[in-house]
């Protein structure tokens, strides 16, 4: 493995602590890595608007990968370097099927999340102890009265996120979706599915950005904690699981760092990037 030149950072449960902040030790490590010329790249399932301003405005963050790899942005120039959409026809078919099943979902389009009002009410009810969620939804999501009509007018989706909350609600659907061409489906947690275009995931996007910057795979590191980070961890030259990561993430990764509450990103950067 060569010297690490690019680090892909998941946000929730990884870079961000439980208060959705970046701890002081982690910020210090990020700043030192940036001074040493390392690219620090947030890699998230969130739409661009849903990425905290705290992250988007970090002076050393130039590139951001959002929607689980569907979009790669240059924050410095305000440009979209790459966009890979779920084709419009497949998007409409999935939305129709989800509405038939009465499953809660949202669609991510041009950096914004859209859903019907009851979907976000359901999401907040599923997470009664998350004090940040109601405000996050209000500030970063847009309500549409008729999702079928909304996607009928569009050219395709960056991502589609299903938030049923119960595993048995998505098991049958998961099998159905995996039979549809032009889709990539990940299962980040119980009762949740994230759908992007075929061939699009966090790992593929991370390596695409690295290639654009002239960085070899062996010079990349990824840090994550959940199911939608697995492709990024497999792709990177060095994979780091957070101490709070799901068991399968820890098993797959090369090393395990501390939890997000114990500055796990700072510990990983200090050991494998700054040393």
Mean pLDDT of 244-273: 97
The domain ranges of the chain are: 6-84+200-272, 86-197
User: Given this model, what pLDDT does residue 263 score?
Assistant: 98
Query: How far, in Å, are 20, 44, 84, 85, 227 from residue 15 at the CA level?
Result: 9, 11, 25, 27, 16
| pTM (2 d.p.) | 0.93
User: Given this model, what pLDDT does residue 171 score?
Assistant: 77
Neighbour-count burial of 149, counting CB atoms closer than 10 A to its CB (0-12 exposed, 13-18 middle, 19+ buried): exposed
Mean pLDDT of 93-120: 93
* Helices (H), ranges, 46-166: 53-56, 88-101, 117-126, 133-140, 147-152
* CATH 3.30.70.20 is held by the domain 6-84+200-272: no
Contact criterion met (CB below 8 Å) for 26 and 265: yes
The yes-or-no answer to whether 6-84+200-272 and 86-197 have a common fold is: no
Confidence of residue 63 (pLDDT cuts 50, 70, 90): very high
Confidence of residue 40 (pLDDT cuts 50, 70, 90): very high
Residues 12-35: pLDDT tens digits?
Answer: 999 999 999 999 999 999 999 999
- What is the distance between the alpha carbons of residues 161 and 95, in angstroms, rounded to a whole number? 11
Q: DSSP letter for 154, please.
A: S
At residue 119, does pLDDT exceed 70?
yes
Taking all residues of the chain, what is their mean pLDDT, rounded to a whole number? 93
3-state DSSP call for residue 45?
Answer: coil
User: Given this model, what pLDDT does residue 1 score?
Assistant: 61
At residue 177, does pLDDT exceed 90?
no
Least confident range of 98-102, 175-179, 200-204, 238-242: 175-179
Confidence of residue 179 (pLDDT cuts 50, 70, 90): confident
- What is the distance between the alpha carbons of residues 180 and 74, in angstroms, rounded to a whole number? 32
If you search the block for the tokens 């589609």, which residue do you land on? 160
Least confident range of 171-175, 233-237, 246-250: 171-175
User: pLDDT exceeding 90 applies to what percent of the chain?
Assistant: 79
Neighbour-count burial of 179, counting CB atoms closer than 10 A to its CB (0-12 exposed, 13-18 middle, 19+ buried): exposed
Classified by CATH at the fold level, domain 86-197 comes out as: 3.30.1240
At residue 163, does pLDDT exceed 90?
no
More confident residue, 211 or 189: 211
Taking the CB of residue 31, how many other CB atoms lie within 10 A of it?
A: 14
- Identify the CA nearest to 6 among candidates 206, 177, 201, 268: 206
Partners of residue 143 on adjacent β-strands? 115
How far apart are the two ends of the chain, measured CA to CA in Å?
A: 14
User: Given this model, what pLDDT does residue 165 score?
Assistant: 67
Residues 134-160: pLDDT tens digits?
Answer: 999 999 999 999 999 999 887 899 999
Contact criterion met (CB below 8 Å) for 231 and 203: yes
- What is the distance between the alpha carbons of residues 88 and 160, in angstroms, rounded to a whole number? 12
At residue 196, does pLDDT exceed 70?
yes
User: Given this model, what pLDDT does residue 134 score?
Assistant: 93
């Amino acid at each position: 493995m060569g010297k690490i030149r690019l680090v892909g950072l998941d946000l929730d449960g990884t870079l961000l602590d439980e208060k959705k902040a970046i701890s002081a030790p982690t910020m210090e490590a990020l700043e030192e890595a940036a001074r040493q010329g390392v690219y620090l790249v947030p890699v998230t399932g969130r739409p661009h608007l849903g990425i905290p301003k705290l992250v988007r405005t970090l002076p050393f963050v130039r590139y951001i990968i959002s929607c689980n790899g569907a979009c790669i942005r240059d924050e410095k120039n305000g440009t979209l370097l790459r966009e890979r959409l779920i084709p419009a026809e497949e998007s409409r078919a999935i939305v129709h099927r989800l509405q038939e099943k009465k499953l809660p979902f949202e669609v991510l389009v041009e950096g914004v999340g859209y859903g019907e009002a009851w979907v976000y009410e359901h999401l907040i009810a599923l997470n009664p102890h998350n004090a940040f969620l109601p405000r996050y939804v209000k500030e970063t999501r847009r309500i549409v009265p008729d999702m079928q009509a909304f996607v009928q007018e569009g050219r395709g989706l960056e991502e589609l996120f299903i938030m049923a909350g119960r595993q048995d609600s998505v098991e049958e659907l998961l099998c159905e979706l995996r039979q549809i061409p032009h889709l990539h489906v990940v299962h980040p947690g119980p009762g949740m599915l994230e759908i992007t275009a075929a061939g699009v995931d966090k790992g593929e996007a991370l390596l695409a950005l690295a290639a654009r910057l002239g960085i070899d795979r062996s010079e990349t590191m990824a840090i994550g904690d959940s199911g939608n980070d697995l492709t990024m961890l497999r792709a990177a030259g060095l994979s780091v699981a957070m101490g709070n990561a799901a068991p399968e993430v820890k098993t797959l990764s090369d090393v395990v760092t501390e939890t997000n509450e114990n500055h796990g990103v700072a510990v990983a950067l200090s050991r494998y990037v700054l040393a």
